Chain A
Amino acid sequence: MFEAHSINAEHKDLIHDIAYDFYGQRMATCSSDQFVKVWDEDEHENWHLTASWKAHSGSVWKVTWAHPEFGQVLATCSFDRTAAVWEEIVGEGSGPGERGMRHWIRRTNLVDSRTSVTDVKFAPKTLGLLLATCSSDGVVRIYEAPDAMNLSQWTLQHDITCKLPCSCLAWNPSLSRLHPPMIAVGSDDASPSNGGKVFIYEYSENARRWTKTDTIASINDAVHDIAFAPNLGRSYHTLAVATKDVRIISVKPLPDSAANGQARFEISTLAQFDDHYCTVWRVCWNIMGTILASSGDDGCVRLWKDNYINNWKCVAVLKGDGTSAQSSDNATSATQNSNHTAVQPALSTTRYQRIVPTISMMAEMDKVIQAPLSMNSKKYQTSSIKGRSNKWVMPGIPSEAYFEPPPPNIAKSKNKK
């Protein structure tokens, strides 16, 4: 079963992005209302709004946290053509109590773009304090704070021109020294004739510049979001792409390819799912890179997981109305959506229960349904066992002769050696 609860995000318009800090204890939200809000979770899992400020003069598209080694730092990007870096400060201004309002200061405003800045992402911390932005005019910019302890000084290190408008970017989080820094950029250019829509850039230490090393030719439709899975010891990188469907792409570096001018990577599609039956807008990996969440206009979030032989499957479908139905304070939206139950004949809450085991157990959906049934039908008299070494006591035993040999003599595990 899923445990669910909801909060009112207090934004005046739709949220564009939610980002969690490294520990999942702080949440930053951004919205078309031009505000950024920061929420802190207490030990009882309640979220408290601790900061809210007007960050930009246009819709705020994305918000992202820096690694905690750089302090409490956020970056945002907006329709107003800027990206900004924010730092939380404590001390003088903070009111009494631990959960008073916090103050966030704009440490820098990156104004190089001439069009809407569509994405902003911090580099993996091993590369230092680096920030990449991309914009709708097709330029990717890499900024660096040379002194990681000084967030006010950022220099534009590189600008890379893609030929198409950029909608999203992702750093390869691989921490291995074997791979040069890598960025994937997606374009939401809708014309298939313009070719592949995901570009891979790598930084060459020798040339001190970023170069496009590959284009994923198999994706010609508009790309709305991309995400690298954390690479936990695999020989290839896994990239999730939100386009007209969900794609999971493997990018495998080929040995000795740089020298002889051949392709850098072997790129293959691990999985492709059109279960959303509509455009997929977002993809997001969990921290281990084991489960991918995808979402689209159908109002569903689908979770994808691979098994031990890298077979990808949908393990759960989360429906917006289902969520609402579970939290009582949200009754209005639940009823609003009741007319959609035709799509999913089962009650959405039951649907949740059914998909549950799959979350951790990579099961096929149809099989799971029968599992709870057999579990719940109490076939056996459990009440008869009592006592650690199965002493179900026989009342009024006539004579010793009727005793069966004592049940398997179970070593008492509580008597630890």
Chain B
Amino acid sequence: MADSVQGTFVSEKISKLRWKHEDFADARYFVSGTWDDPVNKVSYWTFQKNEEEELYPACVSSSPVVGDVTEIKFICKDQFVFSSSDGSVKVMKLEDDPYPNMKELTEWKTIHKFNKNEPAPCTALSNFEQDIVSVGEDGRINLLTAQQQNPVRVIDEADSCSLNCVDFLRHSEILTGNIRGHMKVWDLRSDQDVPATTIMLSEQSKTEATSIAHHPTQKHIVVAGGGDGSLTVWDLRYNTYPTSQLSAHSKSVSEILFHKDQPENLFTCSVSGEVWHWNNTQQSKLKLDTTDTHWLNSINNKANIHVNSLCTPLHKPVNSIDIDRATLIFGGDNEAIYVLRDINVF
């Protein structure tokens, strides 16, 4: 499998990579975000054949970004929203006619700020269809909707520490994680600016929460990655204690990703340069299993988890991964985008 990893150097550190999924076909485009240069970019990529008849990523359009790109999410087939460390969030539209192009639709400028007007990095965002939630180092939560220029709702002092990650669990519920590993569930139906529940990533180590993902269909199953490389799983229906907790990567977890169509497959990447594919070896049993016990909930007791390293670890952090069907893209601080084809997802 390792042989089919194809790397393209792009001269910028990649912070985010997201496929533009197609309905009934393999994705042909993806978007990328970069970080750590004075001016960064969001770029729109397709695949072209080189002289050796290999498909390799080729940039078709890019747009400058002040600050680091900190998150990218597609809110519909051809629109994505991205956040930047200068505190703003933008919606972009991808156009293919007459030529591939990106167009800015909406911008929320400096919606994260310290004191009155010093921009604060927006660290993460998540969306539920057109509804967007952004969090930042200012501990603020902004609720946005793609059609509306003003934030729908702002929770100013949602957290007294920097918020690192956020996940839209369902249309009325979000989960945030901060640099102390405090995870807060917010019920958006409530007018009160207080969290419904607070849970801890880890009682002891107090490491930061770096990323959150929920199971695509069983939305109560939530996985969070920690600054120490650990993965923590909760079943939010039952209680605030994690159902399983495991030290996984040797360094901070950068992203966690469930396969959209095959949620038994989980992908993680890390600052350690690793890209891992998690799934359960007892697939047949799981396929029959229509109850809602996901293997993630029982990793602690059974050692039947299959973790597959998708490539030899890079020498630099891997910041982002995304998968479309059997094709995975990942990229990071070594300024390259890697494409991995024919991944065994089942």
A-side contacts of B118, CB under 8 Å = 98
Contact with B along A386-417 (1 / 0, CB 8 A): 01100100000000000000000000001111
Q: A91 to B115, alpha carbons, bound, how many Å?
A: 8
Question: Are the C-beta atoms of A416 and B5 separated by less than 8 Å?
Answer: yes
Output the least CB separation between B218 and chain A (Å). Answer: 35
The reply to whether the CB of A97 lies closer than 8 angstroms to some CB of chain B is: yes
Output the least CB separation between A40 and chain B (Å). Answer: 13
Output the least CB separation between B338 and chain A (Å). Answer: 7
Contacts A97-B117, A98-B118, A98-B119: A415 and B3 contacting too (C-beta < 8 A)?
yes
Give the size of the chain A interface in residues (CB under 8 angstroms): 13
The reply to whether the CB of A256 lies closer than 8 angstroms to some CB of chain B is: no
B-side contacts of A388, CB under 8 Å = 51-52
Q: A192 to B117, alpha carbons, bound, how many Å?
A: 60
Question: Are the C-beta atoms of B51 and A415 separated by less than 8 Å?
Answer: no
Question: Are the C-beta atoms of B3 and A417 separated by less than 8 Å?
Answer: yes
Contact with A along B296-335 (1 / 0, CB 8 A): 0000000000000001101000000000000000000000
Output the least CB separation between B8 and chain A (Å). Answer: 7
Question: Are the C-beta atoms of A417 and B117 separated by less than 8 Å?
Answer: no
The reply to whether the CB of B25 lies closer than 8 angstroms to some CB of chain A is: no
The reply to whether the CB of B7 lies closer than 8 angstroms to some CB of chain A is: yes
Within 8 A of A (CB), among B229-263: none
Q: A417 to B6, alpha carbons, bound, how many Å?
A: 9
Within 8 A of A (CB), among B87-137: 115-119
Chain B residues within 8 Å of A, Cβ to Cβ: 2-3, 5-9, 38-39, 51-52, 115-119, 311-312, 314, 336, 338
Output the least CB separation between B148 and chain A (Å). Answer: 26
Interface centre among A97, A98, A391, A414 (most CB of B within 10 A): A414
The reply to whether the CB of A366 lies closer than 8 angstroms to some CB of chain B is: no
Q: A35 to B117, alpha carbons, bound, how many Å?
A: 30
Within 8 A of B (CB), among A78-129: 91, 96-98
Output the least CB separation between A191 and chain B (Å). Answer: 53
Output the least CB separation between B103 and chain A (Å). Answer: 26
Q: A388 to B116, alpha carbons, bound, how many Å?
A: 54
B-side contacts of A3, CB under 8 Å = none
What is the chain B residue whose CB lies nearest that of A393?
B51
Chain A residues within 8 Å of B, Cβ to Cβ: 43-44, 91, 96-98, 387-388, 391, 414-417
Q: A112 to B38, alpha carbons, bound, how many Å?
A: 46
**Which one of A96, A98, A391, A416 contacts B51 once the chains associate, using CB atoms below 8 Å?**
A391
Question: Are the C-beta atoms of B117 and A44 separated by less than 8 Å?
Answer: no
What is the chain B residue whose CB lies nearest that of A391?
B51
Question: Are the C-beta atoms of A414 and B117 separated by less than 8 Å?
Answer: no
What is the chain B residue whose CB lies nearest that of A96?
B117
Q: A96 to B110, alpha carbons, bound, how many Å?
A: 14
Output the least CB separation between B317 and chain A (Å). Answer: 15
Q: What 7 pairs across the A-B complex have the smallest Cβ distances?
A: A43-B38, A416-B7, A414-B7, A417-B2, A417-B312, A387-B51, A98-B118
Q: A415 to B7, alpha carbons, bound, how many Å?
A: 6
What is the chain A residue whose CB lies nearest that of B4?
A415
Question: Are the C-beta atoms of A417 and B38 separated by less than 8 Å?
Answer: no
Output the least CB separation between A110 and chain B (Å). Answer: 33
Q: A2 to B5, alpha carbons, bound, how many Å?
A: 40
Instruction: Jot down 12 A-B pairs with beta carbons below 8 A, ordered by A.
Output: A91-B115, A96-B116, A97-B117, A98-B118, A98-B119, A387-B51, A391-B51, A415-B6, A416-B311, A416-B336, A417-B2, A417-B312
Q: Apart from A91-B115, A415-B7, A417-B311, what 20 extra A-B contacts exist at CB < 8 Å? A: A96-B116, A96-B117, A98-B117, A98-B119, A387-B51, A388-B51, A388-B52, A414-B7, A414-B8, A414-B9, A415-B3, A415-B5, A415-B6, A416-B312, A416-B314, A416-B336, A416-B338, A417-B2, A417-B3, A417-B5
B-side contacts of A91, CB under 8 Å = 115
B-side contacts of A417, CB under 8 Å = 2-3, 5, 311-312
